[in-house]
Structure 1
């Protein structure tokens, strides 16, 4: 399965970069978040690939949900897709945007791919193993398998490095860093924050502002496979497939803290 997800993410990333270099057409959703033709193009590619390879596994995809298309996920196994995470990064010509495909089983992210096409890096995880592959930027070939090196979270030392959202930071996040005595932090866009912790380049990602499940599933799967964890503010593992929530919409996440377990 992971080979198919990786290949689909790379194909979507190629389409995204074509539009990135040509100049995207930007519109805005009801919540004022931007969406581009690259979001839609990438999602079409991924949905077609998943339907062909896994016709019995439903897919919750960001733009499809925005259009009102929400399949039944009662079976507990489904994909979460964010075809272009970090659309603001994309529009602002920052390279920290990603393609995210995550597989959920009984509320737990068990496999995922995060591809950053402008950086030429692909992170993936499955069967409890996480890896990073370096690809050529632009239009890499679509190999049947993507070779990569195993990655692992590092032990958290006396001076941990926190990653925070570039566009959606909050006073609560900064208060958390102060309360925990964390002096060093860096603002990073998209799901790359999970991957950098999984790779051992940072230690913690507190997110005390709104996210959706498709924003986090793939990166969370990679982090967990690399020896990390993602917990709610109450200390419970972040779960997926949340519907009928009293306090928020379907598939919305609560505040969370992603970190190395070490």
Structure 2
């Protein structure tokens, strides 16, 4: 299957997961704590099960690493470098707060690098998707697609998007030194999408994330002409199974930053 056909299938799987999530969103939200103290809901688990089953049916030979699957002990061999990374409900805290800033994230990696990704916002039905080297687009709830691209930044008038629920003294210090013209706070992988769409120039992250939090957003950003590195400018690594897939600090940005 070519990557464009594959991407179309992934968008559909993400939409189906979104429908599942919204059934929980409209009712009572019961919250449990995982072993690391982060919240998890029945919506996370139900969406995860649907996405993983869909991916295994679509591409049975490609292993799947999902947030909830990994938490439950599933850790398939990814030494070949090609695998799926899934966060079925990125922004669980935002989901619990019912502010709409949560997403379904699905990414394909090859040679341990994101090559295809979908970030779908259940509340609006907007999917941001892309294939690295082939471009990115937004698809609305009616299926209409609009090409998106990261904008050329003006270093003197930067717009920075940062986490809504994970602010830290280190981030505040970074922003104070950067002196951006505008700051935007958003939850989940939507921050990547704002940069990919040309609505922001920079997304710095100094707090902890996992690979399933970033891969889909990074794929969309790269497809839209942006870039992402570790905070020191070195390449951002994936495939850190021995480190529980934990990411270090990073900067996602458009051209000219």
**Same fold judged by TM-score > 0.5?**
yes
* TM-score of the superposed pair, with normalisation by structure 2: 0.94
Q: Any runs of at least 4 consecutive aligned residues in structure 1 with deviations exceeding 2 A, and if so which?
A: none
* TM-score of the superposed pair, with normalisation by structure 1: 0.92
- The superposition leaves residues 189-240 of structure 1 with CA deviations (integer Å, 9 ceiling, x where unpaired) of 0000000110011110100010000000000000011011111011012121
Match of 1:116 among 102, 114, 121: 121
Distance (Å, rounded) in 1 between the aligned partners of 2:78 and 2:12: 24
- The superposition leaves residues 106-142 of structure 1 with CA deviations (integer Å, 9 ceiling, x where unpaired) of 1211000000010221000115210001116xxxxxx
Cα offset for 1:183?
4.2
The aligned residue for residue 41 of structure 1 is 46
Q: How does 1:166-185 map to 2 (within 5 A)?
A: 166-185=164-183
Cα offset for 1:31?
1.8
CA RMSD of aligned residues (A): 1.2
Q: How does 1:65-144 map to 2 (within 5 A)?
A: 65-128=70-133, 129-135=135-141
Match of 2:218 among 220, 228, 231: 220
Aligned residue-pair number: 249
The aligned residue for residue 150 of structure 1 is 147
Q: Is the 1:229–1:237 contact (alpha carbons within 8 Å) kept by the matching residues of 2?
A: no
The 10-residue stretch of structure 1 (182-191 or 90-99) with the greater mean CA deviation from structure 2:
182-191
Cα offset for 1:181?
2.5
The aligned residue for residue 192 of structure 1 is 190
Q: Where do 5+ consecutive residues of structure 1 fail to align?
A: 137-145
Q: Where do 5+ consecutive residues of structure 2 fail to align?
A: 1-5
Distance (Å, rounded) in 2 between the aligned partners of 1:91 and 1:180: 32
Distance (Å, rounded) in 1 between the aligned partners of 2:36 and 2:244: 15
